[in-house]
A and B are shown apart, each in its own frame.
Chain A
Amino acid sequence: MERRTFIELLGAGTLLVPPLACKLRGPIAAGPTNLNGIPTTCELCPNKCSLLAVVKEGRLAKLNPNPENPKSRAMLCARGNAAIQQVYDPDRLKQPLIRAGERGEGKWRPVSWDEAFDFAANKLKAVKEKHGPEGSLWSSTEGFQEVFFKNLGQAFGSPNVMRHPTLCLASMTLAYSTTFGTVPSFDLLNADYVIMAGANRFESIITPDTMDLIGGTMERKAKLIYLDPRFTVTASKADEWHPIKPGTDLAFILAMLNVILTEERHDKAFVETYTLGFEQLLEHVKPYTPAWAEKETEIPAADITRIARAFADAAPRAVFYAGRRSSWYTNDFQMRRAQAILNAVVGNWDREGGMVPNRKVAKGEFTFMPWDDPKASRVDEVEKAFPLANAKDGVYLPLRENVLKGTPYPVKAWMIYKQDPMHALPDQGKTLEMIQQMDFVGVVDIAMSDTAWYADVVFPESHYLERTDPIEVMPGIWPAAVYRQQAVKPLHDTKPMLDIAQGLAKRLGLSDYFDYTIEQWVEAEAKELPVPNGMEHMRKHGVVGFEKPKYGTTRNAVHRFVTKSGKIELFSERLQEAGHDPLPVYTAPAQPPANKFRLILGRKATITHAALTNLPWLHEHNRENDLWIHPEPAARLNIQTGDLLEVSSTAGTVKIKARVTPEIRPDCVFMLHGFGKKSAWLRRVHNVGAADSILLETAWDKVSGNAALHETFVKVGKA
């Protein structure tokens, strides 16, 4: 009955406003809400916010936040609001297409679904005949129907199902799970002292973290210490912004550990009871003094010492926030490991305002016919090269290298769901080369992405507002299970991923594995939700969520952490055995030569990854990307705002306009993601601005295989 309590808290008919909300230390409510909509779940970014779709005369009129989801904090961001424009986008994919010209030429033949399925199935069969099922690659980004795409690849017999985490948060999840046996959440609603390095939460929206951080810093006056080479919105809201030298976060964290441990400010009882390897850690951090770290980070030693003391004093209501976007450097895993260790020694584990292991909402599973395990091993050789990584997700950049080399075997068919490798992977030139060496490329998407632009067949998926999807569980401090149900009928000749998988499965002789409907799938899931009449509840509410956090469930002597030792591993034998540093060792990163800059990336609240830049309501706020450059080097290079620049790396060259701004370090340049599109069906951003993926060089984190996106130096000059 937790949910009911939550609704009562929310629905009292009055507004909870500061300073009342902060005293409650509970979710911040929006007040009376128009509940006359179809409850469903947003798909414009990975947050999965609950919303109510208002439909008038069969047309989507408005999307309003659904306050029943404690995770989405009764809000809907700009992107969520703009989803309507995806549905009615005149450039949308409206029917299956088969390439009529050369790849990338933009000549298409609209075809029936039958023809598209036959065409793709024949191509896939031909590749299977010649190269075996392992000759096919199935790449996808997370989504509620991703499961059907993955299942098709697996049923087809391919070991090469390539998921997105190594373009995302794999280094972070691996670092925290190596330490704690699980990946926790951070209780920003109740933390009193937050250190954030690069995780630009006020522009890179994550629910409930972004909202809770505003509540924390603005209403409860929690301290926010922010490290970033760029002056972001988060920097502007922070109590302190330190423009740290890129690639040196690990030095900062090790020096914090040095101060806390040598001054014995750590939580001794916690360390004693729950952790392993404290003595080794103590010895390990001794050389990493604040004075040493000042030289590496360019943050004054006195500041590092002060921050370390304040952090330890505020614990357990103090967190060094993990962040979650793509890794930055080749040592990213070790940097995140150091964060995890720092959090561990101050004893913020499983405490209010600290780091909290995730809870889940239970749901049922639909059982379908299983397939045989693939005979071949993965083409990315993940087990051999990255033994600690999640082998099922794969490692994307090493995979591309192997496919390009044709080792250990050729891969000649590439199926892609809900992903745009042309922009999601660094070094677009290499991705294009990978596409060109394929016998077949098939893309499932809702819009003509740059990857779709180079495909042989494009399957138009129905928009999320036109689909019913499986139930998704979102673990967290405020966990929820959410449901996506159809709000309007498909406007065009599109299909959900399940139907696309079934269409292909039928022609590939795999129908037995897909012998079910979405309704059967969802009903099996809904049966075990922790509410009576789960299915009916989901249709009516769209969400089951727990509003009351539970703290301390793992803080007892019998709790066994899912690590080798059963303890929180400050020192990791598993790492040592795999040939990695068992404690994070700092190596100074290479610095750009005098005439070059480090290219750094970042997010904005109106763009998701490289997508959405073509939607008018969002495009109005991001018409073109530009290159941020500090006034000092700009003066040296005689560059003024608006000048057209030529920017080049060893991977490629782009032309982009300059933005001369003091909001970035003099040794870095920055550009937004999602511009310079090759696809003419993204008309607002077609050949507008430039694509960062053309410039980014191939590099990955040594332990997790995660793409390292801040390792590129670029030359900048007037075009």
Chain B
Amino acid sequence: MGTKTKTKRYAMVIDSKKCIDCKACVVACKAENKVPEGVFRNWISVERSGDYPKLRMTFEPEQCHHCDEPSCVRVCPTGASWQREDGIVLVDYDACIGCKYCIIACPYEARYHNPETHTVDKCTFCVHRVDKGDLPACVETCPSKVRVFGDLNDPKSPLHQLLATRRHEVKNPQTGNGPQLYYLL
């Protein structure tokens, strides 16, 4: 984690066990980012198993992983998909031609075609809020504080401390994308 020398590297820690599937993060994201009906920048996966009465149900919040080596940026023919110095992966809507290569290339199915703007879209880590010193909308609104957002390169950040003290994993590490959503175990 945080292998590159950068002043900041934004990342997110997710404590799925605390998630109650209440959709606060999903609706806050829709409101904050004006996401159209039917498409989502974040969502909650539900997994069910077992037989009555020994049942299990787990929830996992998902969104763009803001990878270190993002395949969406690699495949983009126009340079519309790009990455900031602090790791946040964005889409330049003016440069996006809506070819959807990136949607296929993303191992996390985090991108969608915006039917209103005819460009590809996805989670921005609420960059417009973060740049003002605020938290992403999903992080702030969460009733159970499932997500912790912060700078991976700041050893004093709660995010850094959590990763230093708690067992965690990333999704699909085999893709080599270097995802930056850390799920606590």
Contacts and interface: CB of A to CB of B under 8 A. Distances in A.
Contacts of A662: 50-52, 55
Given A81-B28, A218-B15, A606 B23 contact: yes
Given A30-B145, A32-B133, A76-B28, A605 B23 contact: yes
Interface stretch (A12-20, A377-385, A638-646, A689-697): A12-20
B133 A18 contact: no
B110 to A, nearest CB: 18
Interface string B24-45: 1011101110000110000000
A556 interface: no
Given A218-B15, A617-B27, A243 B53 contact: yes
Give the contact-size bracket for chain A.
35 or more
B83 interface: no
B24 to A, nearest CB: 5
Interface in B7-27: 15, 17-18, 20-24, 26-27
A78 B51 contact: no
Interface in B51-73: 51-53, 55-58
B96 interface: no
Contact of B31 (A32, A81, A233, A236): A81
B58 to A, nearest CB: 7
B135 interface: yes
B143 interface: yes
Given A17-B148, A78-B27, A30 B135 contact: yes
Contact of A18 (B15, B22, B24, B38): B15
A328 interface: no
Contact of B52 (A32, A78, A210, A630): A630
Given A15-B150, A15-B158, A214-B144, A82 B134 contact: no
B31 A34 contact: no
Given A34-B132, A76-B141, A210-B143, A203 B52 contact: no
B162 interface: yes
Interface residues of B, number: 46
B76 interface: no
B133 A78 contact: no
B15 A606 contact: no
A345 interface: no
Nearest to B56: A236
Given A17-B158, A75-B143, A78-B26, A616 B37 contact: yes
A62 B30 CA distance: 10
Interface string A346-387: 000000000000000000000000000000000000000000
Given A75-B141, A77-B143, A210-B143, A605 B20 contact: yes
A20 B162 CA distance: 10
Contact of B24 (A20, A32, A81, A214): A81
A73 interface: yes
A231 B27 CA distance: 25
Interface string B143-158: 1110010100000011
A15 B162 CA distance: 11
Contacts of B165: 19
Interface in B97-147: 129, 132-135, 137, 139-145
B161 interface: yes
A78 B23 contact: yes
Contacts of B141: 64-65, 75-77, 81
Given A62-B32, A236-B57, A606-B22, A33 B143 contact: no
Contacts of B37: 616, 620
B71 to A, nearest CB: 28
A116 interface: no
Given A14-B158, A15-B158, A62-B31, A33 B57 contact: no
Given A30-B135, A77-B24, A78-B23, A231 B57 contact: yes
A84 B137 CA distance: 15
B148 A15 contact: yes
B164 to A, nearest CB: 12
Given A14-B158, A31-B135, A77 B22 contact: yes
Interface in A195-219: 202-203, 205, 210-211, 214-215, 218
Contacts of A64: 137, 140-141
Contacts of B142: 75
Nearest to A14: B158
Contacts of B23: 78, 605-606, 618, 621
Contacts of A231: 52-53, 55, 57
A28 interface: yes
Interface string A27-44: 010111110000000000
Interface string A626-649: 000011000000000000000000
Given A76-B24, A605-B20, A663 B140 contact: no
Contacts of A79: 27
B28 to A, nearest CB: 5
Contacts of B57: 231, 233, 236, 663
Nearest to A231: B55
A618 B27 contact: yes
B27 A82 contact: yes
A31 B27 CA distance: 20
Given A82-B27, A616-B37, A17 B162 contact: yes
A75 to B, nearest CB: 4
Contacts of A74: 140
A663 B31 contact: no
A81 B32 CA distance: 9
Nearest to B134: A34
Nearest to B55: A231
Given A17-B148, A235-B55, 9 more contacts: A15-B150, A33-B135, A64-B140, A74-B140, A215-B144, A218-B17, A231-B57, A241-B53, A605-B23
7 contacts: A15-B148, A17-B158, A17-B162, A32-B133, A202-B22, A237-B17, A606-B23
Interface of B: 15, 17-18, 20-24, 26-28, 30-32, 37-38, 48, 50-53, 55-58, 129, 132-135, 137, 139-145, 148, 150, 157-159, 161-162, 165
In the A-B complex, the 6 residue pairs with the smallest Cβ-Cβ separation, listed nearest first, are A605-B22, A662-B52, A236-B57, A15-B158, A78-B23, A214-B144
